[in-house]
Copies of this chain bind each other. A is one copy, B any other.
Amino acid sequence: MDRDRGAEASAVPVPPWRTPPKAVNVRQPLSQERIVQTGLQLLDAEGLDGVSMRRVAQELGTGPASLYAHVSGKEELLDLIFDRVLGEVELPDEPDPQRWIEQVRQIAVSAHRVMCAHADIARVALANVPVGPNALRIAEKQLQIMRAGGVPAQVAAWMIDRLSLYIVADAYEGSLLRVRSREGGEQALAEYFGRIEAYYRSLPPDRFPAFTAHVEELMSGKDEERFEFGLDILLAGLARFGRADGAKSPPG
């Protein structure tokens, strides 16, 4: 009998008066995983302000109330997205006492780059202490490297905190400029800095002698350059506490 060969039967058009099954995959059940993933997509597409409970729910084809079964609230959702992003940070396999400063530096640069690649997600880390698995993984590695480099435990412990504050703050600050340039184009960003520079130049030199004399220097340098400048200042300050031979790549 032919009527049991389902595969071939489906090649024939379905009679239009039959109610089609509800769109496939829309009934894929909600989960924390799916919510975080959707939040991350929204973050990348529209920035952190685009990640609202309502928008995430909409994207998942449901109402905002449904999210609360899988996530305690907006804060937890953002924490989860942040830690997922931190998962992209690359770490060296083993601490190398000969190159401890370079290793600390590489992790810092990688973390900075990763956060910068995801809009203004860094704001989340400023708002609460990150305790997700990836945050811990990174901090653990930094601590191991500094200890291997001979840095005293108390200094190393506080330095992790100070370093991550610096990285996160710079990433956040820079991301706001990037948001500005995405919204108004490259041109808007240039205009913004142009206005500031013009304002600096217009200041009265008698009250702002140093400022007006150094507008050039104040405005120079790209994001990355300034970040690494500050990072190297911090690392130079740290170097005194550890093995001297680990400080092979001193800044200017």
Contact = CB atoms under 8 A, between A and B. Distances in A.
Interface of A: 126-129, 131, 136, 139-140, 143-144, 147, 153-162, 165-166, 168-170, 172-173, 176, 196, 199, 203, 207-211, 214, 217-218, 220-221, 226, 229-230, 232-238, 240, 252
Q: Report how many copies the assembly holds.
A: 2
A176 B125 CA distance: 12
A35 B34 CA distance: 45
Given A126-B176, A158-B230, A162-B233, 17 more contacts: A126-B172, A126-B173, A128-B176, A131-B199, A136-B208, A139-B211, A143-B210, A143-B214, A147-B210, A157-B214, A157-B218, A157-B220, A158-B229, A162-B230, A169-B169, A234-B234, A236-B237
Contacts of A129: 196
A156 to B, nearest CB: 7
Quick one: which of A156, A233, A252 has the most chain B CB within 10 A? A233
B126 A162 contact: no
A173 B127 CA distance: 7
Nearest to A240: B236
